[in-house]
Protein backbone atom coordinates (compact mmCIF):
# COMPACT_ATOMS: atom_id res chain seq x y z
CA UNK A 1 0.00 0.00 0.00
CA UNK A 2 1.17 3.51 -0.69
CA UNK A 3 2.16 5.92 2.04
CA UNK A 4 2.76 9.65 2.05
CA UNK A 5 5.19 11.47 4.32
CA UNK A 6 5.27 15.14 5.12
CA UNK A 7 8.40 15.89 7.06
CA UNK A 8 7.51 19.23 8.54
CA UNK A 9 4.66 19.07 11.02
CA UNK A 10 4.81 22.70 12.06
CA UNK A 11 6.37 25.60 10.19
CA UNK A 12 6.51 29.19 11.38
CA UNK A 13 7.56 31.90 8.93
CA UNK A 14 7.51 35.64 8.74
CA UNK A 15 5.67 37.36 5.94
CA UNK A 16 7.61 37.53 2.68
CA UNK A 17 9.70 34.51 3.58
CA UNK A 18 9.93 31.66 1.09
CA UNK A 19 8.16 28.40 1.76
CA UNK A 20 8.95 24.83 0.86
CA UNK A 21 6.98 21.93 2.29
CA UNK A 22 8.27 18.44 1.68
CA UNK A 23 6.18 15.52 0.50
CA UNK A 24 7.42 12.03 -0.31
CA UNK A 25 5.41 9.01 -1.31
CA UNK A 26 6.12 5.32 -1.53
CA UNK A 27 4.79 3.85 -4.74
CA UNK A 28 6.81 2.96 -7.77
CA UNK A 29 4.11 3.13 -10.41
CA UNK A 30 2.02 5.86 -11.92
CA UNK A 31 0.75 8.39 -9.42
CA UNK A 32 -1.47 11.42 -9.35
CA UNK A 33 -0.33 13.99 -6.82
CA UNK A 34 -2.21 16.71 -4.99
CA UNK A 35 -1.74 19.45 -2.47
CA UNK A 36 -4.72 20.56 -0.42
CA UNK A 37 -5.05 23.45 1.99
CA UNK A 38 -7.36 23.73 4.97
CA UNK A 39 -7.75 27.26 6.29
CA UNK A 40 -8.89 27.63 9.89
CA UNK A 41 -12.53 26.69 10.17
CA UNK A 42 -12.86 25.83 6.50
CA UNK A 43 -12.92 22.69 4.45
CA UNK A 44 -10.22 21.22 2.28
CA UNK A 45 -9.48 23.05 -0.94
CA UNK A 46 -7.34 21.95 -3.85
CA UNK A 47 -4.18 24.00 -4.30
CA UNK A 48 -2.74 22.15 -7.25
CA UNK A 49 -2.41 18.73 -8.81
CA UNK A 50 -0.11 16.76 -11.05
CA UNK A 51 -1.29 14.05 -13.42
CA UNK A 52 1.28 14.09 -16.20
CA UNK A 53 3.34 16.42 -18.36
CA UNK A 54 5.39 19.32 -17.01
CA UNK A 55 6.61 18.26 -13.57
CA UNK A 56 6.46 21.83 -12.35
CA UNK A 57 2.84 22.64 -11.69
CA UNK A 58 1.41 25.97 -10.71
CA UNK A 59 -1.62 26.28 -8.51
CA UNK A 60 -3.75 28.95 -6.98
CA UNK A 61 -2.52 31.79 -4.78
CA UNK A 62 1.03 31.67 -6.09
CA UNK A 63 1.78 28.11 -5.02
CA UNK A 64 3.71 25.68 -7.15
CA UNK A 65 4.98 22.14 -6.74
CA UNK A 66 7.61 20.08 -8.47
CA UNK A 67 7.28 16.39 -9.14
CA UNK A 68 10.65 14.65 -9.00
CA UNK A 69 10.05 11.06 -9.93
CA UNK A 70 13.52 9.84 -8.99
CA UNK A 71 13.07 11.18 -5.50
CA UNK A 72 9.40 10.19 -5.13
CA UNK A 73 8.79 13.77 -4.09
CA UNK A 74 6.24 16.48 -4.72
CA UNK A 75 7.34 19.49 -2.70
CA UNK A 76 5.17 22.57 -2.39
CA UNK A 77 6.72 26.01 -2.74
CA UNK A 78 5.79 29.64 -2.56
CA UNK A 79 8.36 32.42 -3.05
CA UNK A 80 6.81 34.88 -0.61
CA UNK A 81 4.21 33.87 1.95
CA UNK A 82 1.49 36.07 3.36
CA UNK A 83 -0.26 36.06 6.69
CA UNK A 84 -3.35 34.72 4.90
CA UNK A 85 -1.42 31.57 4.00
CA UNK A 86 -1.68 30.44 7.61
CA UNK A 87 -3.36 27.06 7.27
CA UNK A 88 -2.77 23.34 7.27
CA UNK A 89 -1.40 21.80 4.12
CA UNK A 90 -1.89 18.21 3.04
CA UNK A 91 -0.11 16.30 0.35
CA UNK A 92 -2.12 13.45 -1.16
CA UNK A 93 -1.42 10.67 -3.62
CA UNK A 94 -3.62 8.55 -5.80
CA UNK A 95 -1.67 5.52 -6.90
CA UNK A 96 -2.44 3.79 -10.14
CA UNK A 97 -3.57 0.63 -8.42
CA UNK A 98 -5.76 2.32 -5.82
CA UNK A 99 -8.80 3.24 -7.86
CA UNK A 100 -10.03 6.62 -6.74
CA UNK A 101 -8.62 6.40 -3.26
CA UNK A 102 -6.48 9.23 -1.94
CA UNK A 103 -3.80 8.68 0.65
CA UNK A 104 -2.94 11.75 2.68
CA UNK A 105 0.25 12.82 4.33
CA UNK A 106 0.24 13.82 7.96
CA UNK A 107 -0.24 17.49 7.19
CA UNK A 108 1.89 20.55 7.87
CA UNK A 109 0.58 23.37 9.98
CA UNK A 110 1.93 26.67 8.66
CA UNK A 111 1.82 29.82 10.70
CA UNK A 112 2.83 33.07 9.05
CA UNK A 113 3.64 35.90 11.42
CA UNK A 114 2.66 39.37 10.23
CA UNK B 1 -16.59 23.31 -9.95
CA UNK B 2 -18.15 20.28 -8.37
CA UNK B 3 -19.90 20.66 -5.05
CA UNK B 4 -20.23 18.15 -2.25
CA UNK B 5 -22.60 19.07 0.51
CA UNK B 6 -22.17 17.54 3.94
CA UNK B 7 -24.72 17.81 6.73
CA UNK B 8 -24.78 18.50 9.59
CA UNK B 9 -21.69 20.63 10.11
CA UNK B 10 -21.78 20.16 13.85
CA UNK B 11 -23.58 17.68 16.05
CA UNK B 12 -23.52 16.96 19.74
CA UNK B 13 -25.03 13.72 20.90
CA UNK B 14 -25.29 11.70 24.06
CA UNK B 15 -23.21 8.63 24.57
CA UNK B 16 -25.02 5.53 23.33
CA UNK B 17 -27.09 7.28 20.68
CA UNK B 18 -26.60 7.13 16.91
CA UNK B 19 -25.78 9.96 14.55
CA UNK B 20 -26.27 10.09 10.80
CA UNK B 21 -24.10 12.25 8.56
CA UNK B 22 -25.13 12.91 4.97
CA UNK B 23 -22.91 13.56 1.99
CA UNK B 24 -24.46 14.73 -1.27
CA UNK B 25 -22.93 15.43 -4.64
CA UNK B 26 -24.94 18.38 -5.89
CA UNK B 27 -24.10 18.66 -9.55
CA UNK B 28 -22.60 15.35 -10.49
CA UNK B 29 -23.14 11.67 -9.93
CA UNK B 30 -20.77 9.84 -7.68
CA UNK B 31 -20.66 6.08 -7.84
CA UNK B 32 -17.93 6.21 -5.24
CA UNK B 33 -17.62 8.42 -2.19
CA UNK B 34 -15.04 8.38 0.54
CA UNK B 35 -15.34 8.92 4.26
CA UNK B 36 -12.40 10.32 6.19
CA UNK B 37 -11.82 10.99 9.84
CA UNK B 38 -9.53 13.77 10.97
CA UNK B 39 -7.98 13.40 14.37
CA UNK B 40 -6.70 16.44 16.26
CA UNK B 41 -3.29 17.48 15.00
CA UNK B 42 -3.29 14.55 12.62
CA UNK B 43 -4.08 13.94 9.02
CA UNK B 44 -7.15 12.56 7.37
CA UNK B 45 -7.51 8.85 7.68
CA UNK B 46 -9.61 7.04 5.14
CA UNK B 47 -12.32 5.11 6.94
CA UNK B 48 -14.18 3.55 4.07
CA UNK B 49 -15.05 3.72 0.43
CA UNK B 50 -18.75 3.98 -0.22
CA UNK B 51 -19.98 2.26 -3.37
CA UNK B 52 -23.37 3.03 -4.86
CA UNK B 53 -25.62 0.03 -4.74
CA UNK B 54 -23.18 -2.24 -2.95
CA UNK B 55 -21.40 -2.69 0.33
CA UNK B 56 -18.83 -0.22 1.49
CA UNK B 57 -15.18 -1.17 1.65
CA UNK B 58 -13.74 -0.49 5.08
CA UNK B 59 -10.13 0.20 5.90
CA UNK B 60 -8.32 -1.97 8.36
CA UNK B 61 -9.19 -1.16 11.93
CA UNK B 62 -12.50 0.54 11.14
CA UNK B 63 -15.47 -1.17 12.75
CA UNK B 64 -18.12 -1.91 10.15
CA UNK B 65 -20.88 -2.29 12.71
CA UNK B 66 -20.07 1.01 14.37
CA UNK B 67 -19.69 3.10 11.24
CA UNK B 68 -22.55 2.13 8.95
CA UNK B 69 -22.32 3.41 5.42
CA UNK B 70 -25.16 3.49 2.96
CA UNK B 71 -24.85 4.69 -0.63
CA UNK B 72 -28.37 4.26 -1.91
CA UNK B 73 -28.21 6.67 -4.84
CA UNK B 74 -25.66 8.23 -7.14
CA UNK B 75 -25.78 11.49 -5.20
CA UNK B 76 -26.08 10.46 -1.57
CA UNK B 77 -23.95 8.55 0.88
CA UNK B 78 -24.63 8.42 4.60
CA UNK B 79 -22.39 7.55 7.52
CA UNK B 80 -24.12 6.49 10.71
CA UNK B 81 -22.09 6.38 13.89
CA UNK B 82 -23.93 3.84 16.01
CA UNK B 83 -23.88 3.71 19.78
CA UNK B 84 -21.54 6.67 19.84
CA UNK B 85 -18.95 7.03 22.58
CA UNK B 86 -16.77 9.99 23.51
CA UNK B 87 -13.82 8.46 21.66
CA UNK B 88 -15.85 8.72 18.45
CA UNK B 89 -15.74 12.49 18.79
CA UNK B 90 -13.91 13.72 15.74
CA UNK B 91 -14.13 15.59 12.47
CA UNK B 92 -15.61 13.49 9.67
CA UNK B 93 -15.20 14.49 6.04
CA UNK B 94 -16.66 12.99 2.90
CA UNK B 95 -15.28 13.26 -0.58
CA UNK B 96 -16.27 12.34 -4.09
CA UNK B 97 -14.51 12.41 -7.40
CA UNK B 98 -16.10 14.37 -10.18
CA UNK B 99 -14.70 13.25 -13.56
CA UNK B 100 -14.62 16.89 -14.64
CA UNK B 101 -13.02 18.52 -11.62
CA UNK B 102 -11.39 15.78 -9.61
CA UNK B 103 -11.77 15.27 -5.89
CA UNK B 104 -14.15 17.48 -4.00
CA UNK B 105 -14.57 17.49 -0.27
CA UNK B 106 -17.53 18.19 1.91
CA UNK B 107 -17.20 20.85 4.58
CA UNK B 108 -16.95 18.25 7.31
CA UNK B 109 -18.96 17.32 10.38
CA UNK B 110 -17.67 17.90 13.85
CA UNK B 111 -19.12 15.23 16.10
CA UNK B 112 -18.98 15.65 19.84
CA UNK B 113 -20.21 12.80 21.99
CA UNK B 114 -20.94 13.74 25.59
CB B24 within 8 A of CB B2: no
Chain B residues within an 8 Å CB radius of A102: 34, 46, 95, 103
Best residue of B3, B41, B56, B103 to probe chain A, by most A CBs closer than 10 Å: B103
Q: Does B94 touch chain A (CB under 8 A)?
A: no
Tens-place pLDDT, residues B45-75: 889 998 888 889 998 899 999 999 999 899 9
- Write down the pLDDT at residue B39: 74
Least reliable range by pLDDT among A43-47, A48-52, A79-83, B23-27: A43-47
Residue A62 has pLDDT above 70, yes or no: yes
- Omega into A99 within 30° of 0, i.e. cis? no
pLDDT at B2 over 80: no
Quick: pLDDT tens for A3-45. 889 988 899 999 999 999 999 999 878 888 999 998 887 778 8
Round to whole Å and give the CA distance between B39 and B79.
17
Dihedrals φ, ψ of B48, to 5°? -165, 155
Q: Which among A49, A101, A106 has the least Cβ separation from residue B102? A: A49
Q: Which residues make Cβ contacts (< 8 Å) with residue A6, sequence separation at least 6?
A: A21, A22, A23, A89, A90, A91, A105, A106, A107, A108
Chain B segment 1-30 residues within 8 A of A by beta carbon are: none
User: Given A43, A99, A104, which is nearest B108 (Cβ)?
Assistant: A43
Amino acid sequence: AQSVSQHNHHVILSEAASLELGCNYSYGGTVNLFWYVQYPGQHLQLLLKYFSGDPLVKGIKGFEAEFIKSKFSFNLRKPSVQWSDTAEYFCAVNAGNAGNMLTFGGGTRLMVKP
Amino acid sequence: GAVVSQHPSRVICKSGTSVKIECRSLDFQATTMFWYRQFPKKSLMLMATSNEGSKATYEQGVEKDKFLINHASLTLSTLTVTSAHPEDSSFYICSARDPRYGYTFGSGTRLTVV
